[in-house]
Amino acid sequence: MALVEEQPEKHCWVCFATERDDCSAEWVSPCRCKGCTKWIHQSCLQRWLDEKQKGNSGGAVSCPQCGTEYHITFPKMGPVVYFLQQIDKALSRASPFAAVGVVVGTVYWSAVTYGAVTVMQVVGHKKGLYAMERADPLFLLMGLPTIPVVLVLGKMIRWEDYIVRLWQKCYYRGSTRYLPHVPGDGGAGDHLSVSRTLCGALIFPSIASMVGRLLFRRMPSNLQRTILGGIAFVLIKGVLKVYFKQQQYIIQANRHILNYPETNGDEQSQGGEEDAEDSGNE
Amino acid sequence: MALVEEQPEKHCWVCFATERDDCSAEWVSPCRCKGCTKWIHQSCLQRWLDEKQKGNSGGAVSCPQCGTEYHITFPKMGPVVYFLQQIDKALSRASPFAAVGVVVGTVYWSAVTYGAVTVMQVVGHKKGLYAMERADPLFLLMGLPTIPVVLVLGKMIRWEDYIVRLWQKCYYRGSTRYLPHVPGDGGAGDHLSVSRTLCGALIFPSIASMVGRLLFRRMPSNLQRTILGGIAFVLIKGVLKVYFKQQQYIIQANRHILNYPETNGDEQSQGGEEDAEDSGNE
């Protein structure tokens, strides 16, 4: 207290100007920093804050050196502006939920439409339209979207894989050699399998109707014809799939890794062959 | 050639067993490696390959030490299996495109439905239905989905921001002090702005119809009433938004960063206050 320190000249740590450069500029010491980073121009700090906050004018900003949070005062807000701000905030908060609602609504409406188209495809155009017009609207709005859901769930039951695994167990029972796993669908990641399941499930009624018209032409009822067509398609496809997976498995189980062709004196013939190939490629 | 090296005992680098442990096991030397990693059991390498390939049985696998690609032979594939494999590959290749098609179809169909609902909302239920029934189906399938697209594009024109910027230029012309940027919508990232634009655009016809029914009750035509309601809503909302942004801007421009309260002898009163607060909290 007794020792009066001489105040060093202020200089701004943003623009490096001193008090002598601009007498009218407003100075502020917003944090615990001492020495050369104690003082800053009010306007330089404002510009620096804008860059830090990047449009989010309400966010807290601290001194990068001492970590003190800057204390910022704003002019008082009028009631109208406050009201508008609350509305703006509420809309911003609600908009993600509304967007999710739009997406869900889109999917739901497409599922309803798909269900209606499927009903008309399976029981016949006129009959389906007549049945849906007479049905309870609530029942339709609940029932129609379940059609694609049930189709996708049904497609997810991989009974062919189960049969292949059963066959594998019986066939290779007691075998001592190493057996590979049953190869999966396509084998190139999950998103491929998801899109195959989805598309396969959605196109199934069309295929069932087509197969029904091809194989069971004499059936009088559209519904019976499509159901029989669907069953026939599932069985034929299942048998082919089981056969294909079995063959894939047998090929996989009987693969053989070859010796690397040696180029020294031990196996002169193999080495010679490779040399000949190499010179042929050159 | 003259020097016959004694062949060291084979041992497998996967299971560490030697020739003496299992006389019947098949050995393979699949790569350029010499010494202790030259030999491996055929079955051990098969298992190791399965783990490396993770279901993708066609993938090339190399020795982790010398980098030589293993040469694997498969038993010959029958024509039926080859045919099934080609079908499987084609389906796997087509399924992502089909899935994209399903998504696009879903969005398109929802846009058609939204357009039809909007036409009925704007010109009246009966009149809209009558007009759409008499219109060319191709025109409807092309025209109806453009309605939500046009609404979203129209919503993206931010004319209020333009007015605020114009006002800012005229008002603060010649000002030497630092001026902040005009604050953006909500200011919390782009996805929020996207969902606000989308939802705002899609709900606009409903709001226009509501405002039209409230303010222009005497209008005989539903179409005129809704159009006037839409214009009124856009104008009222625009004026409020411009006012809100101006006020936000003024508040932002007049914020003030305070000095950090010093606790040394220079400002005894402030320091004393802070000490009192501290002791009060203890």
Whether B210 and B143 map to the same domain: the answer is yes
> Would you say residue B62 lies in a domain?
yes
What single-letter DSSP state applies at residue B21?
T
pLDDT of residue A280: 39
Q: Which residue of B has its CA nearest to A41?
A: B257
Residue A42 and residue A28 in contact, taking contact as beta carbons nearer than 8 Å? yes
Is the predicted pLDDT of residue B152 greater than 60, yes or no?
yes
Asked if B129 and B187 sit in the same domain, the reply is yes
Q: Do B118 and B32 share a structural domain?
A: no
Domain co-membership, A68 together with A102: no
What is the span of the domain harbouring residue A109? Answer: 76-145
Is residue B220 located within the same domain as residue B94?
yes
Q: In Å, how far from its chain's centre is CA A101?
A: 18
**Looking at the structure, do residues B88 and B63 belong to the same domain, yes or no?**
no
**Position B60 in a domain:** yes
Please give the residue of chain A at the shortest CA–CA distance from B105: A110
| Per-residue model confidence as pLDDT tens digits over B208-223 | 999 999 998 888 888 8
- Would you call A260 an interface residue with chain B, using a CB distance cutoff of 8 Å? yes
Residues of chain A with pLDDT under 50: 1-4, 185-188, 265-282
Residue of chain B whose Cα is closest to the Cα of A76: B251
Chain-chain contact of B257 with A72 (C-beta, under 8 angstroms): yes
Decide if B252 and A56 are in contact by the 8 Å CB cutoff: no
In a domain, A251, yes or no: yes
- In this prediction, residue B15 carries a pLDDT of 82
B116 and B245, same structural domain? Answer: yes
| Contact assessment for residue B259 and residue B270, using Cβ atoms and an 8 Å cutoff | no
**Do A244 and A180 reside in the same domain of the chain?**
yes
Domain boundary, last residue among A113, A145, A177:
A145
Distance CA B65, CA A183 (A): 27
Q: Is B69 helix (H, G, I), strand (E, B) or coil?
A: strand
- Same domain, residue pair B90 and B198: yes
- B229 in a domain, yes or no? yes
Coil, strand or helix: which one is B73? strand
CB contact B189 to A (< 8 Å)? no
Q: Kindly state the tokens that stand for A88.
A: 């703006």
Q: Do A55 and B81 touch (CB under 8 A)?
A: no
Domain shared by A217 and A195, yes or no: yes
How far lies B224's CA from each of A230, B206, B229, in Å?
Answer: 53, 14, 8
What is the predicted pLDDT for the residue at A63?
Answer: 84
CB contact under 8 A, A84 and B28: no
pLDDT band at B184 (very low <50, low <70, confident <90, very high): low
Dist CA B235 CA A22 (whole Å)? 46
Handedness of CA A7, A11, A13, A14 (dihedral sign): positive
What count of CB pairs under 8 Å joins A to B? 209
pLDDT at B221: 87
CATH number for the domain that contains residue A35: 3.30.40.10
- Give the C-alpha distances (Å, rounded to integers) separating A77 from A84, B173, B182, B244: 11, 24, 17, 11
Interfacial A residues in 117-176 facing B (CB < 8 Å): none
B61 and B184 assigned to the same domain: no
Q: Which of A74, A102, A127 is the last residue of a domain?
A: A74
Q: What pLDDT shows up at residue A212?
A: 92
Q: Do B75 and A255 touch (CB under 8 A)?
A: yes
| DSSP letters for B253-271 | HT-EEPPPPP-SGGGHHHH
For residues A187 and A234, membership in a common domain is answered with: yes
A118 is a domain residue: yes
- Mean pLDDT over B247-270 rounds to 71
Q: What is the pLDDT of residue A2?
A: 44
- Among the residues of B217-267, which ranges form H helices? 222-253
Residue B179 in domain? yes
Count up the domains in chain B and report the number: 2
| B250 interface with A at CB cutoff 8 Å | yes
Residues of B numbered 19-78 whose beta carbons fall under 8 angstroms of chain A's beta carbons: which are they? Answer: 28-32, 42-47, 49-50, 55-57, 68, 70-75, 77-78
In a domain, A280, yes or no: no
From the list B43, B107, B184, the residue facing A177 with the nearest CB is B43
Task: Report pLDDT digits (tens) over B12-40.
Answer: 877 888 877 777 778 888 888 887 778 88
Boundary (domain end) residue, out of A145, A168, A199: A145
Two tokens at A175? 């075998």
On whether residue B201 sits in a domain, the answer given is: yes
What's the ipTM?
A: 0.71
What is residue B171's predicted lDDT score, i.e. its pLDDT? 77
Residue keyed to tokens 């189906």 = B137
Please tell me the distance from the alpha carbon of residue B235 to that of residue B159, in angstroms, as a whole number.
11
- In this complex, which of A55, A71, A109 lies closest to B258 when CB atoms are compared? A71
